[in-house]
Amino acid sequence: MSAKAKKVIALCFIFGLPALIGIVQILRGAVQYDSFAKALGTWYAAFLTLAIISFLYDDNPFYRFAEALFIGVSAAYWMVIGVWTVLVPNLFGRLTPWLVKGLIEGLEGQSPRWAYIIPLVLGILLLMRLSRKYGWISRWSLAFIVGTTAGLNFVQYFISDFMEQVRGSMVPLIVFEGGSFSLWGTFSNIVLFLGVLCGLIYFFFSVEHKGVFGVASRIGIWILMISFGASFGFTVMGRIALLVGRMEFLLYDWLGLAPGM
């Protein structure tokens, strides 16, 4: 049997078997829909879910269709959101309030703020990126965006990602709670202090990693790996939660299989 035939059989099994079960459940009355639109939406959502899952077997036209549909719909959705929540109120609502006063409340009697011509011009310059000949002009707008964003966010990130981490690492090594010695609190703070110290030593390359310094560096590697593993595990848990949600949709909402069957 050729590889193409095996692929066709696998796709028929992935899509055909669940669809057959769904049809049987509808005929048995186990699944009932309020309207035709509800039924169509449920089956279409199930098809797209199976199309994405089918990539686990192999790349196929159904997966590429679902992928292209997702990207296209997402791009169109966020473009509309950007126009109506950013462009219209923040640019046209201040530059030409008489033009959009019927769309946004509170613009009656507002005078134009001509200073907003500057961001309008910078936005138009960004569109020069579409031209091969004049694409270099868009670099002025990009430089302004990157520079202002970096400048505005520097203080915020410095405080939240650096100063708060330093402050959180400055803990007492001997902990007393309620006037009595806390063994667990002391142990936790000592582990925190040593973990931070060893992690910093790993990135200190001015001294050769030998002896005590080398031992601390190797401990720092373990601390970093544990931290990265915990972070990755947390991310995987979130993705597994999404997968469980889609499986519940397929089994309960689409196929009408009661929990515990």
Q: What is the pLDDT of residues 106-161, one digit of tens each?
A: 777 778 888 889 989 998 999 898 888 888 999 999 999 999 999 888 888 888 88
149 forms bridges with which residues in the sheet? none
Give the pLDDT confidence score for residue 45 in this predicted structure: 92
Residue 244 exposure: Cα atoms within 13 Å on the Cβ side = 6
Query: What tens digit of pLDDT does each residue of 222-245 get?
Result: 999 999 999 999 999 989 999 999
What are the domain boundaries of the chain?
Answer: 1-59, 171-254
From the number of C-beta atoms within 10 Å of its C-beta (0-12, 13-18, 19+), residue 52 rates as: middle
Contact 166, 190 (CB under 8 A): no
| Tens digit of each residue's pLDDT (9 = 90 or more) over 10-29 | 888 888 888 888 888 887 77
Q: Per-residue pLDDT tens for 170-214?
A: 888 888 888 788 888 889 989 999 998 998 888 888 878 888 888
- pTM for the whole structure: 0.70
In single-letter form, the type of residue at position 62 comes to F
Question: What is the average pLDDT score of the chain?
Answer: 87
